Amino acid sequence: MSNNTARIILPLLCAVLFVTNSWAGDFWTRDKLTGDWGGLRSDLSKHGLDIEMRNSHYYQKVTSGGVDSSDADAEYGIKLDTFINIDAQKLFGSWEGLYISTHIESRDGNDVLADAGTFSLPNANLMYPEPGNYDGTNVTSMFVTQMLFDGKAAVLAGKLGSFDLLQGLFPGVVDYGLDGFMNANSMMSILSWGRWLTLSQYGMAAWTYEGGLPSTGFIIAGHDNVTTTWDTSDSFSDGVGIMVFHRFQFSLGDHPGYVYMGGGGSTKKYNSLDPVDWTFVPGEGPVDTDKKKPWDFATYWKQEFWHHKDDKDRQAFTFVGASVGDDNPSFSDWDVFATFQATGPFDARPHDRMGMASHYYHYADNYVDLVSDIPGENLRDNSWTFETFYNVQLTPWLHLTANIQYAQNEQKSDDPAVIPGLRLVIDL
């Protein structure tokens, strides 16, 4: 067993010790496997320190299609996501509205990202800290938030993990691949922003709040991926990414919804085939093309259409969206996606979760033409994915998800991939 595997499995072994203690609470009904730590967890929270640990296990396989399913083994990957949140006023007795958020990610094992195809992204959580056969522990997100005007606005700055940021912007819709969809493309228009946004980057953001959601704001981000480093030397040396947004909130009857509109781009100039620093993409290399600044505009609509009359956490909603962008240097010049999710759809299973999603990317003509001129490359002009999952709550701290994806990648020579998978998540 590697040292990194030990770091992930050790918390589970320690949990056995908690189970044997009488103060640990009822084993099957408590919220966390390790309970309240003899009251320590509640005491720490009362004093401004919240610690959440989620241990996830993924088993996926490309059974047909994809890059080469004949050589694709079933892959097993393990993650430990640790979230540490500090309320400065509670902890230090001063500095009202200051919060420090940290996300530490430990990973061991393999993923099917390469087997499915570069742009298929069938496992969002195993993209961190890096895709591929990665073993290690890294702080992928650490930022300070200052609330202003009695909680009506916020300013945050630091190391911003993209999915941490997206979960803050779209709570209950986007997650880390721990509870809902596994495929990153089922959550957001990832590829359309992928020329200048990375897995984690230094940056800052500011926005106002309305109805508990970020309403109007902006994000400024560096370009270097810093999931496994703290180096700031090149993040802002040749430009920044800038995004602005506004959310229109409304209700259809007693069912809330919103339309989010955002636009952005980069002050840095790129070639269509410039490398991406966290993964390999088809055609990347020193091809001489005109450097231009990428831009993108996106709109997303979330609409609840059902909730239980006695429990509004049991709900069903749709989340649909579309993006348009430049033909050079971005990978995709437009895309559409649609999702459906429901929590507690059945009275007998009030805590289960289910969902279906589909997305379609149209690749930028300039990118496709340049890649197709490279010997051995034959890029299609689109890719798409269908995904469905059912998440079963076995206990409040243990969830098992069955997931299946049908994904067409970017290569003309590859058939659509069938990707079944299982996910087990343990709240420690």
| pLDDT confidence of residue 10 | 52
CATH of the domain at 237: 2.40.160.180
Residue 282, classified by CB atoms within 10 Å of its CB into exposed (0-12), middle (13-18) or buried (19+), is buried
Per-residue pLDDT of the chain (428 residues; tens, 9 = 90+): 455 554 555 555 555 444 444 444 588 899 999 999 989 999 999 999 999 999 999 999 999 999 876 766 789 999 999 999 999 999 998 899 999 999 999 999 999 999 999 899 999 999 999 888 888 999 999 999 999 999 999 999 999 999 999 999 999 898 889 999 999 999 988 888 888 889 999 999 999 999 999 999 999 999 999 999 999 888 898 899 999 999 999 999 999 999 999 999 999 999 888 888 888 888 887 666 788 999 999 999 999 999 999 998 999 999 999 999 999 999 999 999 999 999 999 999 999 999 999 999 999 999 999 998 888 788 999 999 999 999 999 999 999 999 999 999 999 999 999 999 999 999 99
Q: What local confidence, expressed as pLDDT, does residue 281 receive?
A: 85
Q: Report how far apart, in Å, the C-alpha atoms of 360 and of each of 9, 119, 283, 301, 302 are.
A: 38, 11, 21, 17, 18
Full-model pTM: 0.91
Q: What is the per-residue pLDDT for 1?
A: 45
Parent domain of 360: 3-427
Separation of alpha carbons 273 and 232, rounded Å: 24
For the chain, what is the domain count? 1
* Separation between Cα atoms, residue 30 and residue 49, nearest integer Å: 20
Q: Are 166 and 174 in contact (CB under 8 A)?
A: yes
Q: What is the dihedral of CA 86, 87, 92, 94, to 10 degrees?
A: 150
Spatial contact of 5 and 108, defined as CB atoms under 8 Å apart? yes
Q: Are 318 and 338 spatial neighbours (Cβ–Cβ below 8 Å)?
A: yes
Angle (CA) 349 83 393, round 5°: 10
Q: Could you write out the DSSP letters of every residue in 375-424? A: TT--B-SEEEEEEEEEEEEEETTEEEEEEEEEEE-SBTTPPPEEEEEEEE
Q: How many CB atoms lie within 10 A of CB 281?
A: 18
Peptide bond between residue 329 and the one before it cis (omega within 30 degrees of 0): yes
Looking at residue 58, its pLDDT comes to 97
Contact between 201 and 228 (Cβ < 8 Å): no
- Specify the DSSP class assigned to residue 224: S
